[in-house]
Homo-oligomer: A and B are copies of this chain.
């Protein structure tokens, strides 16, 4: 989604600025953040972020995208995701939820859906107790067939 009022974007960027600490807020970094904000529902690859960023600043380089995404990950502004398709994907951290949501990867249409439930907490508690493993974060992907594909599939 594009921002109806430029103000809204500026406000959000201002908020990131604080998280940047001593790191410089450059036009390129702003452009990457804007691209991510305008596609906060997607799981963009570096190449996709690059394409979006180029629409705003045609001079921007791919290396800058990678370096910026690395920085954003380090600053906990984005999460790097691995769906096993040979490229990393990135999504803005949703500050509201202290934890990730989960991903449902459709084996048929490759659509990636999201779930919010966090029953995983129970499992984490068991693991922390039984293995003494201190869990910081988790990545969960479910593979299967989405409602539509599952229907189509059973007809064949």
Measuring CB to CB, which residues of chain A are less than 8 angstroms from any residue of chain B? 80, 82-84, 88, 102, 104, 106-107, 113, 115, 117, 119-120, 122-124, 126-127, 130-147, 150
A138 to chain B, nearest CB (A): 5
Copies in the assembly, this chain: 2
Q: In the complex, what residues of B have CB within 8 A of residue A115's CB?
A: 127, 130-131
Asked whether A139 lies within 8 Å of B140 as measured between CB atoms, the reply is yes
Bound Cα distance A35, B42 (Å): 40
With beta carbons under 8 angstroms apart, the residue of B83, B120, B132, B133 that contacts A82 is: B83
Contact (A143, B137) CB under 8 Å given A80-B84, A123-B119, A127-B104: yes
In the complex the two chains form, is B113's CB within 8 Å of A119's CB? no
